[in-house]
Amino acid sequence: MQKRTLGNSGLEVSAIGLGCMGMSFGYGPAGEKSEMIKVLHAAVEQGITFFDTAEVYGPFTNEELVGETLTPFKGKVVIATKFGFNIDRTNRTYAGVNSRPENIKLVAEESLKRLKIEVIDLFYQHRVDPNVPIEDVAGTVKDLIKEGKVKHFGLSEAGANTIRKAHAVQPVTALQSEYSLWTRQHEKEIIPTIEELGIGFVAYSPLGKGYLTGKMDVNTKFAEGDIRNKLPRFTQEALKANQTLIELINQFAERRNATPAQIALAWVLAQKPWIVPIPGTTKLHRLTENNGAASITLTSDELQEIETASAQIQIEGTRYNEQMEKSTGL
Between β-strands 120-125 and 85-88, what pairing exists: parallel, antiparallel or unpaired? unpaired
The closest alpha carbon to 113, from 145, 144, 67, 152, belongs to 67
The closest alpha carbon to 201, from 191, 189, 187, 214, belongs to 191
Q: Which amino acid is at 91?
A: N
Options 57, 179, 211, 320, the catalytic residue = 57
CA-to-CA distance for 41 and 37, rounded, in angstroms? Answer: 6
CA-to-CA distance for 124 and 119, rounded, in angstroms? Answer: 14
CB atoms within 10 A of CB 91: 8
* Complete DSSP assignment for 43-60: HHHTT--EEE--TTTTTT
Contacting residues for 225 by C-beta, under 8 A, at least 6 apart: 28, 29
Q: Is-catalytic flag, 57? A: yes
Catalytic residue list: 57
